[in-house]
């Protein structure tokens, strides 16, 4: 076994969360610990200053997405945005026209599944799941076939997948839905996409609702947005003092809103550079992993590794930073624990009551458990260095090789 810690920790779990960018931190600090502490609802100078800061941040979000400022509603993060979008659309549609059908994909975040399960069990909504192919991709024509004219209230399909990186053809999905029933509300969860893939209202085909999460692109945890570029009206979740155009009440979290706006500005100004860097680091990681595994476990060892992220399919775009691999016969969750304080990555399985369970995304992609339970997800950051990538590949590759060699030894003595 390798020692518990050799050298500095390498973090390659940026799809889980990101640090606050130094430029973002500099922007928010005067509103957190300085003199800019006013309530945006106050009419005096400090209140007006805070209101201006919120308005400027809203404008930065709108500039990133290419929409009107009034389309942007700040929230506490993706979970709130998803709850508001899905529940709000479902309740409003049923109240206005009796629509009771909700369609989501099989690779949504667990939050979305929990919301629709609640809507189905408590409120009687008819919730349906659209399948995906082996790359985790939704077929727009399949979505089209599942729309029930006059009955479907909402279609909610994520944009970028956190586990394997697959980017859905949201514009084609929007067009497919509108071709059947133009009154269906379309929402996309773009939480994982900002800063890793081009993201504008136009490129998304003008969906009705878009969810964003600040901590996925170098803003603090606890800030996000729900964007409604079409002007669609949905039910409120939070009532109170009339903030956020009267749609999402509660005193604005000015420091975090300022930070979110700055993070959006950085993405708008630097996306091409970010994507090029992360993509090149991912390619280096893949090559270095293969080299490390082959060097330590033999030339045929890489045959026991499957790449889940569809990197070689030009028809299936992926997030710039994500790499998912599966090692046959290995337990990914055990490897993540074994890496401990050396390399931070995620597994494609979870351990419940001592039993390893395949993730819903890999299950939906029909990945065999013998492969899928050995899944490791690497997610690169915009500040990840070549040195970090090579070090991580050496450490993780060594652990993979060790497991593959132990499997060979077990087979030999059986």
How open is the CA angle 115-117-122, to the nearest 5 degrees? 95
Q: What does the pLDDT look like over 52-77, one tens digit per residue? A: 999 999 999 999 999 999 999 999 99
Q: Where are the domains of the chain?
A: 10-18+271-413, 22-266
Residue 120: both structure tokens together: 């189905």
Return the minimum-mean-pLDDT range out of 66-80, 83-97, 264-278, 396-410: 396-410
Query: Distance of alpha carbon 201 from its chain centroid, rounded?
Result: 17
* Stretch 154-162: mean pLDDT: 99
Indicate the pLDDT class of residue 351, thresholds 50, 70 and 90.
low
Architecture label for domain 22-266: 3-Layer(aba) Sandwich (3.40)
Q: What does the pLDDT look like over 124-153, one tens digit per residue? A: 999 999 999 999 999 999 999 999 999 999
What pLDDT sits at residue 13? 98
Distance CA 155, CA 90 (A): 10
Running DSSP on this structure, what letter comes out for residue 53?
A: H
Return the minimum-mean-pLDDT range out of 78-87, 249-258, 294-303: 294-303
Q: To the nearest whole percent, how much of the chain has pLDDT over 90?
A: 90
Please determine, for residue 346, whether its predicted confidence score (pLDDT) is greater than 60.
Answer: yes
Q: Which phi-psi region, left, alpha or beta, contains residue 232 (left: φ > 0; alpha: ψ -120 to 50)? A: beta
C-alpha distance across the termini of the chain, in Å: 23
What pLDDT sits at residue 349? 66
Tell me, yes or no, if 351 is annotated catalytic.
yes
Distance CA 408, CA 330 (A): 12
Query: Distance of alpha carbon 383 from its chain centroid, rounded?
Result: 19
What pLDDT sits at residue 35? 87
Query: Quick check: do 10-18+271-413 and 22-266 share a fold?
Result: no
Return the minimum-mean-pLDDT range out of 85-94, 95-104, 163-172, 242-251: 242-251
Indicate the pLDDT class of residue 409, thresholds 50, 70 and 90.
low
What pLDDT sits at residue 14? 98
What pLDDT sits at residue 2? 41
Q: Which residues contact 240 (CB under 8 A, 6 or more apart)?
A: 249, 250
* Stretch 36-46: mean pLDDT: 94
**Do residues 234 and 85 make contact, with C-beta atoms less than 8 angstroms apart?**
yes
What pLDDT sits at residue 34? 81
Q: Is 356 helix (H, G, I), strand (E, B) or coil?
A: strand
* Stretch 261-274: mean pLDDT: 99
Please determine, for residue 413, whether its predicted confidence score (pLDDT) is greater than 90.
Answer: no
Please determine, for residue 86, whether its predicted confidence score (pLDDT) is greater than 50.
Answer: yes
Q: What is the pTM of this model?
A: 0.95
Please determine, for residue 4, whether its predicted confidence score (pLDDT) is greater than 60.
Answer: no
* Stretch 262-284: mean pLDDT: 99
What pLDDT sits at residue 228? 98
Q: What is the 3-state secondary structure (H, E, C) of 77-134?
A: CHHHHHHHHHHHHHHHHHHHHCCCEEEEECCCCHHHHHHHHHHHHHHCCEEEEECCCC
Average pLDDT, the chain: 94
- Classified by CATH at the fold level, domain 10-18+271-413 comes out as 3.90.1150
Q: To the nearest whole percent, how much of the chain has pLDDT over 70?
A: 95
């Amino acid at each position: 076994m390798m020692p518990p810690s050799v050298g500095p920790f390498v973090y390659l779990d940026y799809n889980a969360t990101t640090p606050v960018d130094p430029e973002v931190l500099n922007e928010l600090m005067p509103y957190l610990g300085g003199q800019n502490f006013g309530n945006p609802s106050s009419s005096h100078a400090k209140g007006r200053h805070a209101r201006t800061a919120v308005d400027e941040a809203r404008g930065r979000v709108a500039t990133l997405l290419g929409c009107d400022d009034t389309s942007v509603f700040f929230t506490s993060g993706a979970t709130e945005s998803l709850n508001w979008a899905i529940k709000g659309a479902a309740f409003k549609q049923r109240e206005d026209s009796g629509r009771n059908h909700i369609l989501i994909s099989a690779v949504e975040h667990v939050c979305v599944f929990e919301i629709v399960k609640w809507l189905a069990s408590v409120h009687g909504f008819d919730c349906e799941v659209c399948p995906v192919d082996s790359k985790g991709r939704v077929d727009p024509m399949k979505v089209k076939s599942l729309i029930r004219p006059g009955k479907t209230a909402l279609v909610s399909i994520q944009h970028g997948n956190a586990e394997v990186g697959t980017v859905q053809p949201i514009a084609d999905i929007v067009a497919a839905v509108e071709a059947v029933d133009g009154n269906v509300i379309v929402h996309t969860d773009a939480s994982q996409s900002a800063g890793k893939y081009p993201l504008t209202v136009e490129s998304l085909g003008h969906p009705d609702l878009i969810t964003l999460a600040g901590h996925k692109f170098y803003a603090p945890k606890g800030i996000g947005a729900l964007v409604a570029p079409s002007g669609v009206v949905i039910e409120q979740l939070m009532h109170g003092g009339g903030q956020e155009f009267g749609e999402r009440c509660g005193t604005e979290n000015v420091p975090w809103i300022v930070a979110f706006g700055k993070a959006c500005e950085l993405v708008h100004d630097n996306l091409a550079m970010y994507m090029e860097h992360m993509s090149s680091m991912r390619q280096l990681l893949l090559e270095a992993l293969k080299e490390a595994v082959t060097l330590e476990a033999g030339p045929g060892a890489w045959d026991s590794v499957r790449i889940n992220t569809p990197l070689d399919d030009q028809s299936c775009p992926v997030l710039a930073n994500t790499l998912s691999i599966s090692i046959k016969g290995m337990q990914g969750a055990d490897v993540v624990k074994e890496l401990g304080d050396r390399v931070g990555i995620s597994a494609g399985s979870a351990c419940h009551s001592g039993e390893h369970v395949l993730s819903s995304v890999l299950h939906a992609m029909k990945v065999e458990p013998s492969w899928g339970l050995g899944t490791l997800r690497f997610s690169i950051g915009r500040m990840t260095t070549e040195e970090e990538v090579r070090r991580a590949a050496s450490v993780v590759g060594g652990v993979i090789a060790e497991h593959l060699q132990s499997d060979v030894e077990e087979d030999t003595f059986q």
